Amino acid sequence: GEDVEQSLFLSVREGDSSVINCTYTDSSSTYLYWYKQEPGAGLQLLTYIFSNMDMKQDQRLTVLLNKKDKHLSLRIADTQTGDSAIYFCAESPNSGNTPLVFGKGTRLSVIA
Amino acid sequence: EAGVTQSPTHLIKTRGQQATLRCSPISGHTSVYWYQQALGLGLQFLLWYDEGEERNRGNFPPRFSGRQFPNYSSELNVNALELEDSALYLCASSPDLNEQFFGPGTRLTVL
C-alpha cells in the first residue's frame, strides 16, 4: 500500500538551516511534492521534483531525492520565523486512479 | 487568476444535522478533491471528482457524499453529523493527476 512517513516535529533557531525528511513507498511515483500549511490556512505548494531528478533548488529551498532509498528531503536555508508552519510531503502514485498521498506533516517551529 | 475558493469559512452544526460545504476550482481545472484534516491526524483523503464523476473515495462512511456540477464546482455533504466530524475540510483542484491547488478550507464544528 501507499504510505508517506514524516517526523512530526522539528525545532530550529532563526538563521539556521532546517531539514525536513520524508520517506515514501511507491517507487513508481512520478512527482513528489512539498506543501506548506500556515496556521488556520489551506495548503500552499512550495515545490516539487520529478522522479528522474536528484536535486532541485529554488531560492532558499533545496529538495533532495534518493530514489533508491525512497527518501525525500526539504532543506530551508536561513530559516526565518515566517517559515514556522506544517510541511507536508506528498507523492503522486503512478496508478492512474489515485490522487496524491500525503504524509501527516512536520510541524516546524523557528525559535528567534 | 483566482484560486480555489471554499464556502463557508466556518460552519457550526449540532449532532445529527447535515452540513453542506462548497468548492469552486481554478478555472480550467476539471478535478476536485476533498480532504478532512482533523486535529493531529494529517490530511485524510475523502473524495475525488473529475468531469462530473466520482473517481475515487477514501475510507469514510457513506454519510460523506458529494457531487460535481457541470461547471466543475463541487459540494461535500455530511449527513448525521457526529462530534468527530469536527475538522478543517480542504478542497483542492487540479488540471491533471499531479499538482493540486488548495483552497483555504471550511472549518466545521459539531456541537
Mean pLDDT in residue range B42-59: 91
Check CB contact of B42 with chain A, cutoff 8 Å.
yes
Confidence bin at A15 (pLDDT 50/70/90): very high
Confidence bin at A2 (pLDDT 50/70/90): low
Residue A94 has pLDDT above 70, yes or no: no
More confident residue, A29 or B17: B17
pLDDT in tens, A30-61: 789 999 999 878 899 999 998 888 999 999 99
Indicate the residue of B42, B48, B103 with minimum beta-carbon distance to A102.
Answer: B42
Residue keyed to cell 498521498:
A101
- Per-residue pLDDT, A62: 97
- Per-residue pLDDT, A40: 79
pLDDT mean across residues, chain B: 93
Chain B residues close to A99, C-beta within 8 Å: 31, 33, 45, 48, 56, 94, 97, 100
pLDDT mean across residues, chain A: 89
A30 vs chain B: nearest CA distance in angstroms? 9
pLDDT in tens, B91-107: 999 887 667 899 999 99
